[in-house]
Chain A
Amino acid sequence: MNRPALTLKVFLAVIVNDLIDGLAQMMMKMGLVQPAVFSFSIHDTLIFILQNAASPLVWAGICLYALNFFIWIAILSRIDLSLAVPLGSATYLVIPLLAMFFLHENMPPLRWAGIFLIMAGIYLLSQSKPSPAPLSAL
């Protein structure tokens, strides 16, 4: 079996997946009951869950996560995990650039440097060779 190299379709799917992830996290951050007390004890965990179970924003975030699950599985069936995960960083390019063009936010030099590094990283990843298919798939 031959796994295809990275295609534009898969790359776009990775970006969409990560944008939805960012949206879901923002919703959860806004929806969480503040301030939350949390530790790893079972008692505190249950209280934490119960406190937040009534928040529609948290549930909306969870629904988006469910949607993302299906997109992500489709992506993973096509490319390496060690390729798919770092490619998701393209979101970090898209959001600041959108914010600059549409919200006229100014871009500090350090952020430009970060964006440049991420672009270079994505270019290198696109040049990386896919791993041979695992034995279990033969």
Chain B
Amino acid sequence: MIQTLIFVLVAEIWNTAGQIFFKKATHDTACIATTGAFHDFWVSILRQPKIGLGLACMAMGLVVWLAALSNAPLSLVFPLGSLQYILVLLASRIFLSEQIDRMRLWGTLLIAAGIMLTALS
């Protein structure tokens, strides 16, 4: 139980880090995304080192996640997945300076609680 919790948490921290890198990469190409052509956007974004860093984080997260899945029933891993929403909310605030207004905070908390309930039922 504790081991599963740690595995899931470690996987989610890697995934959150990956998401932050991805989002930062899209910041750097945001101008092209709105003004430029489809092709230009993808060429520019795939050249971003942050995409590579993000993918590396995701790969780490995936390996740990697979390990968690192979060690525990999905019914235990699944409800713990809702912790990811809290981690992403905090990380978006800290590393991306996204504005977390009241709607977004409560919306995210309700969703995390709802997923817990759905998964436990």
A interface residues, Cβ below 8 angstroms from B: 1, 3, 25, 28-29, 32-36, 38, 45, 48-49, 52, 65, 69-70, 72-73, 76-78, 80-83, 85-86, 89, 92, 96, 108-111, 113-125, 127-129, 131-134, 136-137
Contact = CB atoms under 8 A, between A and B. Distances in A.
Interface in B24-67: 25-31, 33-34, 41-42, 45, 51, 55, 62-63, 66-67
B113 A81 contact: no
A34 B92 contact: no
Interface of B: 19-20, 22-23, 25-31, 33-34, 41-42, 45, 51, 55, 62-63, 66-67, 69-71, 74, 84-85, 88-89, 92-93, 96-101, 103-104, 106-121
Contact of A82 (B29, B66, B71, B108): B108
**Does more than half of chain B's interface fall in helix, strand or loop, or is it mixed?**
helix
A110 B25 CA distance: 40
B56 to A, nearest CB: 13
Given A114-B115, A117-B114, A125-B103, A78 B33 contact: yes
| Chain A interface SS verdict (over half) | helix
A29 to B, nearest CB: 6
Contacts of B26: 73, 76-77
